[in-house]
Amino acid sequence: MKGSHLFPCLLSVSCWLHLTLTAGHKIFHFGPCRVSVSMTEIRSGFTAIKANIVNPIRTLSILSYPHSLHKVKSSDRCCIIHHLLNFYVDKVFKHCKTEDSYVNRKISSIANSFLSLKRKLGQCHEQNKCTCGQESPEKFKQILANYEGLNVTSAAIKSLGELDILLDWMEKSR
């Protein structure tokens, strides 16, 4: 009789643990690929460092108009986010070091979230569900050209400062 109460208790604890661990996670649809992301964690990290990011260049935008992410077709979303995650992980976060250890920890936390998302999306990409139309590589080439037109540190800081553009675009992919 005592054991009969154990199963409902374990089930309740398991459900509570699952809800606690996935709190803030949202499912995003990038074309045919669906991935779970803790946007709350990424946004809070970005909000914590946004005030400390000194935008070195105000006349050029790396991610926004006229080569806006908001005009990407839904069928190309998987491809462009795949390119952008690689871009942020391989180029941007590696060159965003500051004198402030708190800011560096927040940048590292965001980078780890992007790396996790990159891995999840990579699985979809490996299954050939994530196809690239003509539009997404061209848009990414323009983003890369904007980035490479600046010195490495300025470009990385500028891209980090524009992270809210990418996060807003991702939010619209839900």
What is the pLDDT at residue 56? 62
More confident residue, 108 or 4: 108
**Percent of the chain whose pLDDT exceeds 70:** 79
CB atoms within 10 A of CB 67: 18
What is the pLDDT at residue 50? 86
pLDDT at residue 170 greater than cutoff 70: yes
Which residues make Cβ contacts (< 8 Å) with residue 70, sequence separation at least 6? 169, 172
**Percent of the chain whose pLDDT exceeds 90:** 26
Q: Which class would CATH give 25-171?
A: mainly alpha
Q: 29 has which bridge partners?
A: 34
pLDDT, tens digit (0-9, with 9 covering 90-100), for 109-133: 999 999 999 998 888 878 877 878 8
Averaged pLDDT for residues 75-88: 89
Which residues make Cβ contacts (< 8 Å) with residue 23, sequence separation at least 6? 40
Averaged pLDDT for residues 66-77: 74
Domain ranges of the chain: 25-171
pLDDT, tens digit (0-9, with 9 covering 90-100), for 8-61: 433 343 433 343 344 467 888 888 888 888 899 999 999 988 888 766 666 778
Q: How far is CA 90 from CA 54, 80, 82, 143, in A?
A: 21, 15, 12, 14
Distance CA 14, CA 93 (A): 36
What is the pLDDT at residue 125? 78
- SS (HEC) of the chain: CHHHHHHHHHHHHHHHHHHHHCCCEEEEEECCEEEEEEHHHHHHHHHHHHCCCCCCCCCCCCCCCCCCHHHCCHHHHHHHHHHHHHHHHHHHHHHCCCCCHHHHHHHHHHHHHHHHHHHHHHHHHHCCCCCCCCHHHHHHHHHHHHHHCCCHHHHHHHHHHCHHHHHHHHHCCC
